[in-house]
Chain A
Amino acid sequence: MTTAISLEGVVKTFGSTQALDGLDLEVRTGEVHAYLGPNGAGKSVTIRILLGLIRQDRGRVELLGGDPWRDAVALHRRLAYVPGDVSLWPNLSGGEIIDYFARLRGDLDTRRRDDLIERFELDPRKRASTYSKGNRQKVALVTALSSSAELIILDEPTSGLDPLMETIFQDCIREMASEGRTILLSSHILAEVEKLCDRVTIIRQGRAVQSGTLSDLRTTTRTSMTVSTDEPITGLEDLEGVHSFRRDVDHVHFEVDDPAIAEVMRHLAGLGIRSLVSRPPTLEELFLREYGDEPVDG
């Protein structure tokens, strides 16, 4: 399998702000890769480096087999980009802007464009200054999704879309994925990530803290358990590897690091287990932990 994007030990500082601090990232050709992290983690900075807009201070960056800074123009023929903050020329209509970008890339496909405009219910005649935030975002999405680029980079593309449009966006991404295109999606919307993405990289403070498939992330981490027993449960919360311990009327809830499961089961076995529900953590739980303050070694 070939790689579309690979970063190794990338460092970028702005004055005294360390935006990226030894970042590693690998996106394989043809996959939908989610790029997650709390606000200010360095996602947008990474994307700007990939677009050749800014240059890393240290580290190696490769995009579609080239150097994004040196080979910017050639590489840009093969990619499309949706910015997070969409700013458009106020006097131009949405339709004009969509066509303009298509011509810059040299791949205006009117059929595809018209189809997308219809699906996203965008009025292309309106001047950009009169679009709402969601509609500005739609202009940027139609621009990128109507292209035939082999790599699509999206920086929080759906933060202003309504749920209906969100669904249409997901359909579009699935279609593109099925055509074998590579997609890098930075997002805060976990449901979207869960539905669309093959693999995930989570960064914090400019470093990757997790990377892998969703099921990898789930299984290599913790399990949530809800247990009730005949005898009162004591001492469990003091065991190594048990977290978020909570007591209800007749249940206890906790999360347990997978290596500690055996120990927990031994502890519970003598107490007469009446019921035990165990499930992998939800993405939500996963991210809250990764985003939280205690760094976790992948």
Chain B
Amino acid sequence: MTPFAGFGHQLRFVLRLDRVRGSVWFAAMIGVVLASALSVLSLYGTVAERQIYAQVATADAALKAIAGPGYGLAAAEPTEGAVVMNEVEMYTYVAFALMSVFMLVRHTRAEEDGDRAELVRAAPIGRLAPLAAAGTWVALLNVVIGIGLAIAMTVVGLPVAGSIAFAAAGVGLGLVFVGITAVTAQVASSARSARSTASATLGAFFILRAVGDIGSGRLSWLSPLGWAQSVRPYADERWWVLGLLLATAVALFGAAVTLSARRDLGAGILPQRPGRTEASPRLDGPLALALRLQRGSVIGWGVGMLISGYFLGLIADQADQLAENDAVAQILDQAGQGSITESYLATMMLMMAIIATGYTVSSMLRPRGEERDGRASPVLATPVGRRRWLFDHAAVAAGGTFLIMALCGLGAGIGYATSTGDAGQVLPLLASALTMVSPMLVLGAFAAALIGVRPGWSAIAWAGVAVVAVIGYLGETLNLPQWARDVSPFTHVPLVPAVPFDLLPVALLAAVTVALAGVAAVGISHRDIG
């Protein structure tokens, strides 16, 4: 039997499984980008408005770190396309990449962790067919969304060539991440680690290009996210860069196929060491077990946040230099109350905190996974109460959140001190990072309350993360009304060090957290475990 036998069959099978999921990604991505583009077009309809936007954007380090170099903004009369790109391009690429990561792991490594892959592989299906079918399907989904995106951008009135370039760059990046994830799915020993390794790679690429874009731009060439931006949609498109993305994607996927041919089903390439004969004396309760299970992810997030914080701090002093122009400095000053550097740092902390909420929620959803997989019942059949069981997991989620944010703040402080020789920002940045923990815990407690009351709906906690991310990153772009922004707990937290610390909102957020935890406690004590 050839290794690809049954490919077509397998492809139809995954297509059928993903009808809903695929449609949701399609609708969400096109919907958000379309809404953002329309909003930007209405905000910056005239050349004069766009000129002011361009002046500020090119001088704002925070915006550069998040959005990129802003190709086309330096023109005497910036086009609508250039402004729209500066607002939506980076998020769109990140979304393409994340979609590829989640969808591909779902059909490869996650299947192997369950027993279903064995059933499939026992059927007359070639060894490489499942990987090839999964890769083809996710690539196809990328292309379909890309086509939708190009049409949507054209329909709102942007030039056709730029719209195609924008969509193609997104698809290209998506394909690169199909390749990267296909490799991590072979190397890692579980779906969770395949997913987090691929996501961490995306994070590293983001930081590389953020640092590169604020500096000379050279570092951005080490990051596929930087390549995608270098296609320069609506700003003298450079089509050849698409070839770079495509070639990388093909090479990575080829590598994954080669690796996959060399390993056993269900195993990673990296071998597993034998475990301990007896448990360490510290493994003596649900808290210790939760710590043990989450050790890897806390360390991974901690290192990632420390390094990201370091680089964001390292480039902070360039925020001032970018804003040398007095008129621009004034505009920026009006935006935040603190200095330009301080408001840059505060914005960065907010952005990092929203990303790190991913940790808080995924950690808090662990007990739900334990319950679903049947590991909760035997534990709850011992003298461990339900509330203690849930709260021990919550303690790890909350403690981990504090830890990774502290590392982020510390990293930023050290980075800032490295470039300026001024260690005076270490403590303020630590304070800033820790202030951000309060809204993060609200989302964690929301997840816990769902587990307590409606465990079947606990995935809604992820929708909560998506909502605060859209409000946090795109609130301005979408020109959301204040009441809508108020939905996100991050809207209420003081942006230290740009503004002084204010206890009241933090205390209120803590009160909401406690109330949600109370709901979780009551819920878990009264419902069936199963």
Contact = CB atoms under 8 A, between A and B. Distances in A.
A283 interface: no
A174 interface: no
A126 B375 contact: no
B283 to A, nearest CB: 5
Please tell me the size bucket of the interface on B. Answer: 35 or more
B374 A99 contact: no
Interface in B365-406: 373-375, 377-386
A248 B396 CA distance: 72
A104 B377 contact: no
A91 interface: yes
B434 to A, nearest CB: 31
Contact of B378 (A74, A83, A127, A129): A83
A294 B379 CA distance: 40
A165 B85 CA distance: 67
Interface centre among A48, A76, A104, A140 (most CB of B within 10 A): A104
A105 B374 CA distance: 19
A125 interface: yes
Contacts of A100: 279, 283-284, 289
Contact of B381 (A76, A89, A99, A127): A76
A276 interface: no
A99 B293 contact: no
A93 B379 CA distance: 16
Interface stretch (A50-58, A235-243, A284-292): A50-58
Contacts of B266: 129
Contacts of B374: 83, 85, 87
Contacts, number: 108
A74 B382 CA distance: 9
Main secondary structure of the interface of B (DSSP, over half): loop
A285 to B, nearest CB: 35
B481 interface: no
Contact of B383 (A55, A96, A105): A105
B275 interface: yes
A89 B530 contact: no
Contacts of B378: 81, 83, 101, 140
A87 B385 CA distance: 20
Given A81-B378, A95-B277, A127-B275, A53 B529 contact: yes
Interface in B32-49: none
B190 interface: yes
A16 to B, nearest CB: 16
Interface of A: 48, 51-55, 72-74, 76-77, 79, 81, 83, 85, 87-101, 103-106, 124-127, 129-130, 140
**Which 5 residue pairs across A and B have the least CB separation, nearest first?**
A93-B275, A99-B279, A54-B528, A104-B382, A87-B374
9 contacts: A52-B380, A76-B383, A83-B374, A83-B378, A87-B375, A90-B113, A96-B275, A99-B279, A100-B289
Given A54-B528, A54-B529, A104-B285, 20 more contacts: A51-B380, A72-B380, A72-B386, A73-B385, A76-B383, A81-B378, A87-B373, A93-B274, A93-B275, A101-B379, A103-B279, A103-B284, A104-B286, A104-B379, A104-B382, A105-B383, A125-B275, A126-B274, A127-B274, A130-B272
Interface of B: 113, 189-190, 266, 272, 274-280, 283-286, 289, 292-293, 373-375, 377-386, 528-530
